[in-house]
Structure 1
């Protein structure tokens, strides 16, 4: 979403965050239809993806996928589970403490890596198998964010997630 002009009340609201977020989990998808691999650190490649991920050389718009940690219990409840492991949802990063939806169309930093939120990361039909019947709908609106990697570097569990601007 494009920001309103600087100096307006809406611009001030849309660029103010109560605190930085934090990376809670990192996972890589080495190939299609194989379990995700949890890692503590990974190299983000500018214009591409994450080293060791099947999308590492991709178009860039979906270089990395993020999901809101606060949504995991909601998705679990809506799909009839007590809890859901992050790998089940097949996103690269689980982030807490900052609203990912507010980062869409904006630049943000995770550690030394500069990213740009490109689009919502909608669930795919595979969520029916992963979460059971209705799993796709249980996840709608909470699938997370796709981002382009503008400046590469190492991403680590515990890194701060901070809005930079447009």
Structure 2
């Protein structure tokens, strides 16, 4: 598998903005992030958001990013528009829900789909929210700290992993 891009944002553009205009916080592409167990990504808007938060980090599939660009004829669409942290290629994200896995020495617990919201129709294109249902990415908790970098990445299921559903 391959980590194609990594993004962080210091503030919320959509979360907590229902009924208001979207925020204008930048989504910044970076080469590496410090993942902190139980807390999130240093420098990201959800760092220390709340105890045991299920969305300490989010993953989005490169294959779905490429497909939505084709579907909506958006050749120049930035992957940052989706507000997901890590864009990965060659990893079936839906299979990681409820499982612990290790990537570049950092351990995660997949907690569920990063469900698209109505803001995607504004940030991407009309109809994007519906198109993204079932392929919005993966939300996860960070269970072992470490640095995650763009580039080729070793992946393995954690010995502590189970096929049981994630905690809700």
TM-score tier after normalising by the smaller chain length = 0.7 to 0.9
| Partner Cα distance (2:88, 2:107) in 1 | 15
C-alpha contact 1:23 1:160 (8 A) present in aligned 2: no
Q: Deviations over 1:50-84 (max 9, x none)?
A: 00001011233110000111111212233332353
| Segment drifting more, 82-91 vs 142-151 | 82-91
SS at 2:68's partner residue?
helix
1:9 matched residue in structure 2: none
Runs of 5+ consecutive residues of structure 1 not aligned to the other structure: 1-20
Equivalent residue number for residue 6 of structure 2: 26
Offset from partner CA, 1:133-157 (integer Å, 9 cap, x none) = 1121121111000001001111111
State the aligned residue count: 146
Between the aligned partners of 1:104 and 1:84, the Cα distance in structure 2 is 27
Uncovered stretches (5+) of structure 2, i.e. residues with no partner: 14-24, 163-168
Question: Aligned runs of 1:1-166 on 2, under 5 Å?
Answer: 21-33=1-13, 34-59=25-50, 60-158=53-151, 159-164=153-158, 165-166=161-162
Question: What is the TM-score normalised by the length of structure 1?
Answer: 0.82
What secondary structure, in the 3-state scheme, does the structure 2 residue paired with 1:138 have? helix
Quote the Cα distance in structure 1 between the aligned partners of 2:73 and 2:12. 26
- Deviation per CA, 1:98-147: give whole Å up to 9, x if none: 20111111111111110000010011111011112112112111100000
On the 8 A contact 1:121/1:146 being kept in 2, the answer is yes
- Tell me how far 1:92 sits from its aligned partner: 0.2
Whichever structure has more helix as a proportion of its residues is: 1
